[in-house]
């Protein structure tokens, strides 16, 4: 839930900034994505403007019909006028169809490109970012927000241009027909502009809040689905349902507030022009009665005014869509603006005598070396002490070192520094003499393989999950890795290595998932291997079989193994004890049992627990 809270807090901070941001400035940031399809986008707007202007010609035809054929009782003229009106209507409908054809495919492609860029960016962001953000918040940005942007670019943005052009052309026609009546309809423009400005700021805040709440609700649903076994096992379905109800109720309240704001604006936008139109109708009728205005002119004037009713009334809806799109753009670029860590960090200044040989490559024979390594999590509160306060440790090439320490001592954090899942706060880590901070992540992660205590599998086949550790590995390598990790159960699956394991691999047992994760770690025969208590979910007999096969792998690599049990410790050549943020003792298992009381306590406690079991 920490990630969810972090995502919510980030969203709340962004919501407070909504009042200070410009919707136009937010939407302009979309231009790099819009540029490749700008010709069709502008073309569709031009076609739509032409269609709307054709509709404004219909009142002029009506004026000609009333003052001409109707007044002179000429049936042929009436038929001609009716035909012209029908032709203009058909042309308008056809042009709007062309507009939709022009814009549909490019906008779908634009949405796909933005989603691909977001996904690619998320894959490159550091683990610390994903620790802070709830998955539902990211999911809502990649689905709901991008859909809002596509819909805005396809329709509201185009019709902001179309309706604005239609209103300008329409009022020009009204003023030409009867300027005094036209001015009556222009009177409400100033109050409407002020109302829309007031509405925009309030609606933007509500829109941002609703989209953030949608992300929170998505996170809750995702966690409930993934954790359904825990929920059922502990009978927590009622508390989860209550949490869902609270989140849904909060979102419902925000959506209702948006609806109220929109309803108030629509009421005013509809009522004020209608009052002005009513006044103009009365004045126009009096002028017709006094023979100061022709009946055809009044009909044309009223028809034009009614044709402008939708462009004016839609202003509120288009503004609301614009604000939602601006909020969606802000949320999208919040993630895209998150800086990527540099591929290589600048080397700190050090005396020439201490500089690594410039010609040394990653093919050296120095193993893994930690020198004065310190670490604290990036989102740790100010004033929090470092978790690792100065690690000095050397694992020679070809050696396996077991890392032991009490729960919470920082063992997993230390192993995560080797492949740079997190960046060390200070100090340096070298692999065969090469500073990991000077290697690109591609180079580094091609050298290091890791298996976590909590195995993660993907909704793919066994083959795909294992070969994720070495995409170019052969079938022989795959079979060897499965045998090393004692994954004989794979042959009993319906389709063998091509069996889909399902989301999170939940169709398999915990021990089976852990063995597949171990196979994934060793399939590429890595030069450096990091294992974070990889056998914790195995029974005693399976553990013994895996350990026997794993010894052959460890004999050909340099490995750091996080261990909690003596059986795992015995895989290693030496053992290092992590305590108080430092390595306090290094030696063989038997040496530390005899000479280090803390180590003896950790191992004997584990042994006692196993004996009791």
Q: Is the pLDDT of residue 236 over 90?
A: no
Backbone angles phi, psi at 428, to 5 degrees: -145, 155
Lowest mean pLDDT among 55-64, 253-262, 435-444: 55-64
- CB atoms inside a 10 Å sphere around CB 600: 13
Q: Is the pTM of this model over 0.75?
A: no
Average pLDDT, integer, range 98-126? 87
Q: Which residue has the tokens 């670490």?
A: 375
* Residue 23: band (very low, low, confident or very high) from pLDDT cuts 50, 70, 90: confident
Separation between Cα atoms, residue 249 and residue 242, nearest integer Å: 10
CATH code: domain 362-612 is 3.40.50.300
- Per-residue confidence (pLDDT) for residue 586, from 0 to 100: 92
Alpha helices by DSSP H, 141-236: 146-154, 156-177, 179-186, 189-226, 228-233
Counting runs of H as helices and runs of E as strands, what totals does the chain give? 24, 10
DSSP 409-460: SSHHHHHHHTTTSS--SEEEEEETTEEGGGS-HHHHHHHEEEE-SS----SS
Cβ 574 vs Cβ 586: under 8 Å: yes
* Residue 342: band (very low, low, confident or very high) from pLDDT cuts 50, 70, 90: low
Q: Is the pLDDT of residue 496 over 80?
A: yes
- The tokens for 251 are 């979102």
* Residue 537: band (very low, low, confident or very high) from pLDDT cuts 50, 70, 90: low
CATH code: domain 2-336 is 1.20.1560.10
C-alpha angle 416/417/420, rounded to 5°?
A: 95
SS3 560: strand
Average pLDDT, integer, range 26-41? 88
Boundaries of every domain in the chain: 2-336, 362-612
Q: Is the pLDDT of residue 611 over 60?
A: no
Q: Which residue has the tokens 């002020």?
A: 194
- Per-residue confidence (pLDDT) for residue 183, from 0 to 100: 77
Backbone angles phi, psi at 580, to 5 degrees: 65, 25
- CB atoms inside a 10 Å sphere around CB 490: 25
Average pLDDT, integer, range 469-484? 88
- The per-residue pLDDT for range 270-328, each reduced to its tens digit, is 777 778 778 777 887 887 787 777 777 777 777 777 777 777 777 767 777 888 888 88
- The per-residue pLDDT for range 423-440, each reduced to its tens digit, is 898 999 999 989 998 888
- CB atoms inside a 10 Å sphere around CB 2: 11
Fold match, 2-336 / 362-612: no
C-alpha angle 208/214/216, rounded to 5°?
A: 105
């Amino acid at each position: 839930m920490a990630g969810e809270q972090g995502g919510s807090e980030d969203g709340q901070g962004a919501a407070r900034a909504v009042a200070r941001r410009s919707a136009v400035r937010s939407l302009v940031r979309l231009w790099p994505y819009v540029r490749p399809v700008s010709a069709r986008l502008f073309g569709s707007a031009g076609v739509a403007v032409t269609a709307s202007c054709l509709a404004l010609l219909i009142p002029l035809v009506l004026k000609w019909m009333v003052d001409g054929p109707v007044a002179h009782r000429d049936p042929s003229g009436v038929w001609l006028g009716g035909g012209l009106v029908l032709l203009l209507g058909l042309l308008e409908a056809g042009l709007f169809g062309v507009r939709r054809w022009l814009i549909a495919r490019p906008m779908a492609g634009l949405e796909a490109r933005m989603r691909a860029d977001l996904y690619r960016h998320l894959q490159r962001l550091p683990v610390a970012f994903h620790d802070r953000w709830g998955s539902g918040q990211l999911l809502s940005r990649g689905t709901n927000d991008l859909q809002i942007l596509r819909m805005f670019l396809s329709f509201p943005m185009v019709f902001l241009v179309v309706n604005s052009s239609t209103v300008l052309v329409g009022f020009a026609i009204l003023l030409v027909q009867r300027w005094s009546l036209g001015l009556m309809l222009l009177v409400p423009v100033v109050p409407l502009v002020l109302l829309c400005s007031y509405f925009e700021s309030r609606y933007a805040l509500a829109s941002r809040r609703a989209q953030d709440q949608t992300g929170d609700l998505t996170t809750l649903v995702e966690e409930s689905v993934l954790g359904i076994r825990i929920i059922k096992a502990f009978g927590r379905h009622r508390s989860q349902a209550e949490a869902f109800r609270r989140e849904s109720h909060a979102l419902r309240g925000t959506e209702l507030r948006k609806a109220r704001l929109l309803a108030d604006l629509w009421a005013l936008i509809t009522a004020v022009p209608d009052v002005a139109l009513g006044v103009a109708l009365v004045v126009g009728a009096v002028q017709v009665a006094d023979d100061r205005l022709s009946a055809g002119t009044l009909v044309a004037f009223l028809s034009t005014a009614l044709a402008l009713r939708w462009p004016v009334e839609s202003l509120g809806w288009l503004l609301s869509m614009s604000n939602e799109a601006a909020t969606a753009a802000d949320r999208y670029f919040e993630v895209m603006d998150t800086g990527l860590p540099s591929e290589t960090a600048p080397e700190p200044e050090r005396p020439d005598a201490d500089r690594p040989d410039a010609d040394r490559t990653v093919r050296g024979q120095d193993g893994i070396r930690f020198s004065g390594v310190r670490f604290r999590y990036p989102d740790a509160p100010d004033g929090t002490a470092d978790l690792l306060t100065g690690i000095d440790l050397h694992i020679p090439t070809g050696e396996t070192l077991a890392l032991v320490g009490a729960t919470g001592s920082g063992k997993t954090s230390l192993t995560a520094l080797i492949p740079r899942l997190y960046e060390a706060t200070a100090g340096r880590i070298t692999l065969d003499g090469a500073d990991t901070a000077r290697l690109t992540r591609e180079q580094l992660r091609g050298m290091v393989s890791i298996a976590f205590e909590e195995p993660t599998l993907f909704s793919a086949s066994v083959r795909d999950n294992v070969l994720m550790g070495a995409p170019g590995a052969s079938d022989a390598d795959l079979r060897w890795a499965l045998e090393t990790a004692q994954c004989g159960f794979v042959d009993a699956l319906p389709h063998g290595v091509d069996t889909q394991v399902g989301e999170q691999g939940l169709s398999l047992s915990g021990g089976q998932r852990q063995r597949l994760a171990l196979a994934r770690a060793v399939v590429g025969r890595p030069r450096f291997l990091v294992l974070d208590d990889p056998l914790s979910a195995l029974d005693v007999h399976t553990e013994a079989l895996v350990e026997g096969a794993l010894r052959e792998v460890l004999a050909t690599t340099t490995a750091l193994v996080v261990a909690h049990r003596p059986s795992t410790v015995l895989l290693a050549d030496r053992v290092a004890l992590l305590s108080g943020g430092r390595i306090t003792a290094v030696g063989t298992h038997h040496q530390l049992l005899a000479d280090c009381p803390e180590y003896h306590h950790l191992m004997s406690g584990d042994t006692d627990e196993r004996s009791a079991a």
